[in-house]
Amino acid sequence: MAYDAAVVGAGHNGLTCAAYLARAGLKVLVLEAREVIGGMTMSDELAAPGFLSDVHASGYLVAKLAPVAEDFDLAGRGLDLITPDPNWAQVFPDGRSLLIGRDIEATAASIAQFSSRDAETWRTLYQRYLTAKPTIVRAMLSAPKSLAEELAAPHGADGYRMLMQSGRSWADETFESPELRLFFASAGLHFGLAPDDALGGHFAWLFFAVVQDVGCSIVKGGMHNVPLALAQVVEAAGGEVRTDAKVGRIEVVDGQAVAVHLADGERIAVGGPIAVNADPRHLVVDLLGPDAVGADLEAKLKRYEWGPSFFGIHLALDAPVDFKAAPAGQVCYVHASELSVDALARMFVDIRAGRLPEHPMVGIVNESACDPSRVPEGKALMKFVVHFVPYKVTGDATGRTSGGDWDAIKDVYADYLLEWLDEAFLPGLRKRIISRSIQSPVDYERRTSSSVHGTHMHGAFVPWQVGAFRPVPEMGHYQTPVPNVYLCGAGAHPGSGVSMGPGHNAAATICADLAIRFPGRAA
């Protein structure tokens, strides 16, 4: 048998899993459908030649809590992080901004512009995070606990209340100023959560506490340096990474997976575990199918929920453009939105009804200000991630289109958004554009099949699809009904984002099942 293990998909989680398995002594084959590795951690010259954009993820944040980069010396393999200070900003249409600095006192000073009581509250909340940090990191980097275990823990019921609280409910009871309430409610959007959705409060606290703690970075020379560094680890340990190798199905004999079949017909025998980095529905419905998993599980994955879709604008600019809110341009990630939680909530009403929103929240990454190596001398590059748009557009709150096919309407919507962004946040932006690339949800999905409907999460973060319920309770611990087939992507705990968590945890589970030593540090 040529291979002891196979990994389907070379996203950063698949490569993390493969790197640990290869270090554990298994002969590993990674199969990637696309012509390049990386999945949603890739970079490309989208807007113009010589202007290198991160196509999907830009912010390197949660992975800093994981041991993976150190276990594999990714810094020695080309991973170089840029962590600006101030680090994160919310800009308001009136030219004010709220900043997270690398130092808690800098953040508190920024918050105090709006409320000194809220500044003191943030100091307390951050301290609470630091105290809980070892537990939080352990929870992220190990298989999830059952709900019964969560509730039985000390203060379990209080923890459950906070976990389930919406962003608005938590922000309203925690902060007094509308600016802080908006800022924290908007954090939930990184997990696809509307201000009134369950889970938003807990994620808001955790998300910005992690930003405060480790800082959000962008990767020098492009996010694709993450998968490139991980692939080096796989290959150095004797593994192989093949691109243009779409897996069509996993062959199961007598309840065990024995081979993968590529879409072009090639059969590759595998003597041990097969870990799948693709989204959970693709794994269950297409790669395994009802004969291997049963009709009941197949039906559950067919009703799996995806969450809201992204829309992206990448601009090559002939010179840098300053924000109305001055220091915001230097930070890693900027939130631009209307100043009200109600406006965010209205935006979700629109997108869930199929309408293009008038004032979405836009995540702005000033790629060339943070990393000048991305552009030719003197030029600039900005990325705008629109949270969110509908996948199927049946109307338009801006009144510019009547909805319909994304290929037909994406430029009209982008024109509208650029006009709004120029007026409200970035005066003069449109005059500086050399060329642009617009990414509709359909474009994201065409590029990377696991970005289902143009989403970023491999499955919505809703209470019935997180923790031990992710993606479904039957697969909540990386395993599937086929004992040697595993899920190692963002559809498993701890979920989406560049965290390396699902890949790390799936590899640890596989090593435990094989009774071999896991070659990484225990969380």
Ligand X SMILES: Cc1cc2nc3c(=O)[nH]c(=O)nc-3n(C[C@H](O)[C@H](O)[C@H](O)COP(=O)(O)OP(=O)(O)OC[C@H]3O[C@@H](n4cnc5c(N)ncnc54)[C@H](O)[C@@H]3O)c2cc1C
Residues that bind ligand X (CB under 6 A): 8-14, 31-34, 39-41, 56-59, 61, 246-247, 277-278, 282, 310, 312, 385, 444, 448-451, 456-458, 489-490, 496-498, 502
Torsion, Cα of 324, 328, 333, 337 (10° steps): -40
Of the pair 81, 111, the CB lying nearest ligand X is at 81
CA distance 50 to 221: 12
Would you state the structure tokens that stand for residue 522, as one six-digit string? 């225990």
CA distance 5 to 21: 8
* Nearest distance from C-beta of residue 287 to ligand X, angstroms: 6
* Nearest distance from C-beta of residue 133 to ligand X, angstroms: 19
Of the pair 181, 335, the CB lying nearest ligand X is at 335
Of the pair 108, 187, the CB lying nearest ligand X is at 187
* Nearest distance from C-beta of residue 294 to ligand X, angstroms: 21
Of the pair 385, 393, the CB lying nearest ligand X is at 385
* Nearest distance from C-beta of residue 244 to ligand X, angstroms: 10
HEC secondary structure over 177-221: CHHHHHHHHHHHHHHCCCCCCCCHHHHHHHHHHHHHHHCCEEECC
* Nearest distance from C-beta of residue 488 to ligand X, angstroms: 8
* Nearest distance from C-beta of residue 246 to ligand X, angstroms: 4
Of the pair 27, 56, the CB lying nearest ligand X is at 56
Of the pair 169, 329, the CB lying nearest ligand X is at 329
* Nearest distance from C-beta of residue 158 to ligand X, angstroms: 28
- E-assigned strand segments in 393-511: 395-396, 433-439, 485-487
HEC secondary structure over 62-80: HHHHCCHHHHCCHHHHCCC
Which residue has its beta carbon closest to ligand X? 11
Residues 6+ apart with CB under 8 A from 59: 216, 217, 218, 332, 333, 365, 498
Q: How far is residue 272 from each of residues 481, 485, 511, measured CA to CA in Å? A: 15, 9, 11
CA distance 403 to 39: 29
Helix (H) or strand (E) holding 378: none
Of the pair 119, 438, the CB lying nearest ligand X is at 438
Side-by-side strand order, sheet with 380-389: 97-100, 88-91, 333-336, 361-365, 380-389, 309-317, 433-439
CA distance 490 to 497: 7
Report strand pairing: 380-389 vs 309-317: antiparallel
| CB-CB contact of 84 with 418 (8 Å) | no
Of the pair 503, 519, the CB lying nearest ligand X is at 503
* Nearest distance from C-beta of residue 34 to ligand X, angstroms: 5
Of the pair 13, 398, the CB lying nearest ligand X is at 13
* Nearest distance from C-beta of residue 498 to ligand X, angstroms: 4
Q: Give me the count of residues in the chain.
A: 523
Of the pair 182, 260, the CB lying nearest ligand X is at 260
* Nearest distance from C-beta of residue 431 to ligand X, angstroms: 26
Q: What residues does 487 pair with on adjacent strands?
A: 276
